[in-house]
Amino acid sequence: MTNTDSYMRELVVTNPLGEPTYRLVIHTLRLPQGSRGLDAGCGIGYHALLLAEAVGPAGHVTGIDLSPEFLAKARENAKKAGMAEQVFFQEADMYNHPFEDNTFDGVWSANCVGYAPGEPLPQIKELARVVKPGGSVIILAWSSQQLLSGYPLLEARLNATSSGIAPFVEGMRPELHFSRMLGGFRKAGLERTSAQTFAGSVHAPLSDEIRNVMMALLEMRWADVQAELSHKDWIEFQRLCLPDSPDRILNNPDYYAFFTYSLFRGRVTR
């Protein structure tokens, strides 16, 4: 399985966990009916479909991504959802969109801008360029979690590993951290900026679908951490998270976990 195939599988498997929160976020945005939006870094199209539902049958959403494989899957998902005429997907670079100035009523980017290595400011400026005056730049990303209920010290140590802080790296300038997005908005000339946090949660008993999601999430969240943990913590991590462990935390009848997404929004006023 290639890295692209593996990541695509992760997006499919974990979508049921995040979708309720994404729907809540989009509902809160109160996007204008009939508006035209851009989903930058659209992946396999799940968010573009939710955005298209929100703007109604007279609206339209364009999704862009660099991966032809993701875009092919996004078109397949749109067709299955009966929304192939309302959404359009094309290959494009986040730093250099193939659109004229003032093309869209608003742009959305989830788990992409500001959450990937590199400078977020050029991406924010490019997003703002294609938005009409009065429209919004909206950026969302996973920002925290508590997945090992009852084991806060172990989870804190896991979150301090290279995998746990990814895609951030040691030595990264503080202003490049996703949580400093308002600074990037200000430098890009956006006004009426705001930030908001949305939380989702799961608890026992877990459905088969959510159990599969959580299994994938535990595997994704702290990959290749053994070298950065003490022997004691590594043994405890395996006991709680390995699929074949009789003490796996997902089997706990009192299991509870939560996660947060942070939303940043700025208005284009030029």
Tokens coding 204: 């026992």
The pLDDT value recorded for residue 24 is 97
The pLDDT value recorded for residue 1 is 53
- Say if domain 3-267 classifies as CATH 3.40.50.300: no
The pLDDT value recorded for residue 177 is 87
Tokens coding 14: 């974990």
pLDDT-derived band at 218 (thresholds 50, 70, 90) equals very high
pLDDT at residue 5 tops 90:
no
Burial class of residue 107 (count of CB atoms within 10 Å of its CB; 0-12, 13-18, 19+): buried
Question: Pick from 216, 117, 231, 125: which is nearest to 167 by CA?
Answer: 117
The pLDDT value recorded for residue 66 is 93
**Beta carbons within 10 angstroms of residue 138's beta carbon:** 25
Which tops the pLDDT comparison, 62 or 270? 62
For the stretch 104-137, pLDDT in tens is 999 999 998 876 566 889 999 999 999 999 999 9
pLDDT-derived band at 4 (thresholds 50, 70, 90) equals confident
Which tops the pLDDT comparison, 118 or 16? 16
The pLDDT value recorded for residue 91 is 96
pLDDT-derived band at 71 (thresholds 50, 70, 90) equals very high
pLDDT at residue 166 tops 80:
no
Mean pLDDT across the stretch 256-263? 96
pLDDT at residue 77 tops 90:
yes
pLDDT at residue 8 tops 80:
yes
pTM value is 0.92
List the single range of 94-108, 113-127, 147-161, 242-256 with lowest mean pLDDT: 113-127
DSSP per residue over the chain, as a string?
--HHHHHHHHHHHHHHHHHHHHHHHHHHHTPPTT-EEEEET-TTSHHHHHHHHHH-TT-EEEEEES-HHHHHHHHHHHHHTT-TTTEEEEE-BTTB-SS-TT-EEEEEEESSTTSSSS-HHHHHHHHHHTEEEEEEEEEEEEEEEE-STT-HHHHHHHHTSHHHHTT--TT--GGGSGGGHHHHHHHTT-EEEEEEEEEEEEESSPPHHHHHHHHHHHHHHT-S-GGGS-HHHHHHHHHHH-TT-TT-GGG-TT-EEEEEEEEEEEE---
